[in-house]
Structure 1
Amino acid sequence: MKLSEFIALTEDQKRSTVLSKGVVLAKRSFNEQVIFLFQLSEYYVEIFCCGTSKEVLEYRAFGDTRELALYLDEIPIHDLINNT
């Protein structure tokens, strides 16, 4: 499925697609929200959830890897380097 096709899906179809075909890569918190990052074939999807109710607030899909920078700080690279 192309990025443009994913964007055109309904909310229920997006949820089903991400949960069945996506791979969870990371999780972060921002402004009382929990944001999950999934990778689908050639693009990424962020799922924004309410931190208290766990309700899905938004799906945000993108293909530009520069937008992954927010998640790179969460990877403990120092630990990876010291373990090699």
Structure 2
Amino acid sequence: MTVPYFKTLPNRQKKIAILRTGSFLCEKNAGLFRKMLYQVDGFYVEIWFLRFGKEALWYRAFEDTQLLSPYLKTIDISALLGNLALSNGDYK
């Protein structure tokens, strides 16, 4: 599936495609909204909800990895960095 094709699908079909072939990556709150990020067939899809709602308001499909930046900023990698420091010390 491609981004242009995904964008032509009705919302119900988008939901089915994400549930069948998508991989959940993360969730982020943005004011009144909650966004869920999925990877689907080599591209990404944000699903926007009202913060406490269950029905998707809209879907945003994209390939540009720069649009992942708001999600990447929320990932805490301090434990990973600590493990790297320990493993580098083992090889001295």
Q: TM-score, normalised by structure 2?
A: 0.85
Unaligned runs of 5+ in 2: 85-92
Inter-partner Cα distance in structure 2 for 1:24 and 1:39: 7
4+ long deviations beyond 3 Å: none
Amino acid at match of 2:59: Y
Unaligned runs of 5+ in 1: none
Match of 1:74 in 2: 74
After the TM superposition, which residues 1-84 of structure 1 pair with which residues of structure 2 at under 5 Å, given as runs? 1-84=1-84
Q: TM-score, normalised by structure 1?
A: 0.93
Structure that is richer in helix per residue? 2
Structure that is richer in strand per residue? 1
Q: What secondary structure sits across from 1:83 in the alignment?
A: helix
When Rg is computed on C-alpha atoms for both structures, the one with the higher figure is 2
The question of whether the paired residues in 2 share the 8 Å contact of 1:27 and 1:36 is answered with: yes
Alignment RMSD (CA, Å): 1.0
The alpha carbon displacement at 1:83 in A equals: 2.5
Amino acid at match of 1:42: G
Inter-partner Cα distance in structure 2 for 1:64 and 1:58: 18
